[in-house]
Amino acid sequence: MSSKSVWRAALVVAAVVWCSACPIAVWSQGRTSGPPSDASTMRMEAPPAQGLAVRAGHLFDAKSGTMLANQVILIKGDRITDVGPADRVQIPAGAKVIDLSRATVLPGMIDAHVHLTRASELSLPYRTLEGLQTAQVALNAGFTTLVDFGARGNYNTIDIRDAIDNGIVQGPRLQVSGPPIDPRASNPVASPPTLIGGGMPSDLDANSPWEARAAVRKLRVYGVDWIKIFATQDFEGGRNGYRVFKPDGTMVNVPSMTLEEIQAIVDEAHRSGLKVGCHVYGGEAMHSCIAAGVDLTMHVPELDDASVKMLVEKKLPLQFTIDDIRNLEPTDLKITGGKVSRLTLTETAFKKALAAGVPLPFGSGVTVPNTEGELMSMGTQANQFPYFVKWGMTPAQALQTAFTTAASVLNYGLGNQVGIVEKGRYADLVAVSGDPLADITEMQRVKFVMKGGVIFRDDLK
């Protein structure tokens, strides 16, 4: 290793250790979008040995979708030991009392579709640190559990997950997919300059069922929790063809995988205890994903009746990444001359799936905050809740998408440990000043965050 590489590695290690030792600083650096993130909003207060008692003026019961009044939550270590009415649950002697009697307490939120890192020319160590900070921004906003669906060209989200799990750094609970299996391309690629190259070398390819199985096996040995696949291509034809939409507003949904390839991926993943998430917009590829038993079909702005029927029969969920789709609205309207966009199609698809009783777990598709004026930004994804309500959900149903419904899609039984404030589950709590059942936008103003009994934010104190 060159002396330059040694110094770079040493600086990265020092930065990670510094982030772990001084968590307050991570909120205050380099953020130009998203929720307020000055140092005063971040703290880290470990639970005392005697335990914690949280007095909740109101507590959202994610199971029933109802609001409970005057509750007490007892916490020992990282777990909830009891919860119930204040006249029943006795606070142990010596326990530290956290008074949220004027607030509404809810479980920590779950975003089952984020992107912590991005494809860029930045070095891998830089992108890893950026991904860690992005995860911490989500935690600061009340998202205590995340599923990362796609680290372009690298496996650094696995390291971020492991560093958090091992207590080296602080952050939300993570499940990750690593690089996606992506034979699609999002636009025509340049001709390869040599006989080797071209295409999308940052991701894994699969041009047969056996290549598909090999890609899953490669991801498996690196320690992913999920397999992410791209099943539709975003363009049709060559450079003079169509991107996403045709001028008449018809959506381009060119399949980039066959049914047999997707079936091989699902089978190989399930044999290894992994789950599969499928990026798809509609058409034949969507039918293939559902028929193959993909665990989480994502985006799907163009949802037909046949797909809804298959989802209901197979009892499979559907995830609408409204925050992600909303960001694409200007481009879509320009292409179609204002006729249609992925957002307008998503509204129709959402209402159709909701009416059919398809489970709709929360997933935003948000990524690293940026300075380019994009609408989506990590830490702001709770702005999806108003869309859910506008499109037909009750506020309680909208909240449940980020609690019980999102928990149900997590791998390894993690869903039985989060998403509900209940005895034996992780002590993951958030609190807001108002009543989100009366004003769903309250979830965009989280004031208190606890993960595993550790207080990371308390603006209500």
Q: Which two tokens stand for residue 386?
A: 């108003």
329: in domain: yes
Question: 285 and 164, same structural domain?
Answer: yes
**Residue 206 forms part of a structural domain:** yes
CATH number at residue 298: 3.20.20.140
355-383 residues labelled b (16+ CB within 10 A) or e (exposed): eeebbbbbbbbbbbbeeeeeebbbbbbbb
Own/partner pairs for 59-62, CB < 8 Å, 24+ apart? Answer: 59/83, 59/104, 59/105, 59/106, 59/421, 60/104, 60/105, 60/106, 60/107, 60/399, 60/421, 60/436, 60/437, 61/420, 61/421, 62/106, 62/107, 62/399, 62/400, 62/403, 62/404, 62/419, 62/420, 62/421
**Displacement of CA 46 from its chain's centroid (Å):** 25
pLDDT band at 249 (very low <50, low <70, confident <90, very high): confident
Residue 102's CATH number: 2.30.40.10
Structural domain harbouring 285: 110-416
**Rounded Cα distance, 47 and 77, in Å:** 6
The reported pLDDT for the residue numbered 8 is 40
- pLDDT for 14 equals 43
User: What value does the mean pLDDT of the chain take?
Assistant: 86
Residue 6 included in any domain: no
Pick from 145, 171, 142: which is nearest to 16 by CA? 171
Q: Assess whether 79 and 183 both reside in one domain.
A: no
In a domain, 220, yes or no: yes
Please check whether residues 156 and 293 belong to one and the same domain.
yes
Asked whether residue 144 falls in the same domain as residue 68, the answer is no
Residue 200 — pLDDT band, cuts 50, 70, 90? very low
**pLDDT in the model for residue 343:** 94
Q: Into how many domains does the chain fold? A: 2
CA dihedral angle for residue 199, residue 201, residue 202, residue 205, rounded to 10 degrees: 80
- Asked if the structure places residue 257 within a domain, the reply is yes
- Does residue 292 register a pLDDT over 50? yes
* Residue 120: band (very low, low, confident or very high) from pLDDT cuts 50, 70, 90: confident
Q: Is residue 389 in some structural domain?
A: yes
- Claim to verify: residue 372 and residue 430 sit in the same structural domain: no
Residue-wise pLDDT tens digits, 401-440? 999 999 999 999 999 999 999 999 999 999 999 999 999 9
Q: Is residue 18 part of a domain?
A: no
- Predicted local confidence at residue 142, as pLDDT: 98
Residue 74, pLDDT > 80, answer: yes
Sheet-wide strand order for 275-280: 226-230, 275-280, 296-299, 318-319
Tell me, yes or no, whether 270 and 245 share the same domain.
yes
Lowest mean pLDDT among 67-71, 110-114, 328-332: 328-332
324/344: higher pLDDT: 344
Both 407 and 303 in a single domain? yes
Torsion angles phi and psi, residue 386, rounded to 5: -60, -35
Q: Are residues 104 and 115 in the same domain?
A: no
Q: Kindly state the percentage of the chain with pLDDT values over 90.
A: 67
Q: Which two tokens stand for residue 446?
A: 């989280």
The answer on pLDDT for 11 being more than 50 is no
What pLDDT is recorded for position 24? 35
Least confident of 68-72, 272-276, 333-337: 333-337
Residues 103 and 218 in one domain: no
Three-state DSSP class for 283? helix
When pLDDT is cut at 50, 70 and 90, the band that residue 71 belongs to is very high
Compute CA 173 distance to the chain's CA centroid, rounded to the nearest angstrom: 11
Beta pairing class for 275-280 and 296-299: parallel
> Is residue 3 included in any domain, yes or no?
no
Same domain? 306 vs 245? yes
Q: Say yes or no: 266 and 181 in one domain.
A: yes
What backbone torsions phi and psi does residue 352 show, to the nearest 5 degrees?
-65, -45
Close Cβ partners of 103 (under 8 Å, ≥ 6 residues apart): 56, 57, 58, 431, 432, 433, 447, 448, 460
Q: Are residues 127 and 269 in the same domain?
A: yes
pTM more than 0.75: yes
What is the rounded average pLDDT of the residues 111-116?
A: 95
Maximum pairwise Cα distance, the chain:
75
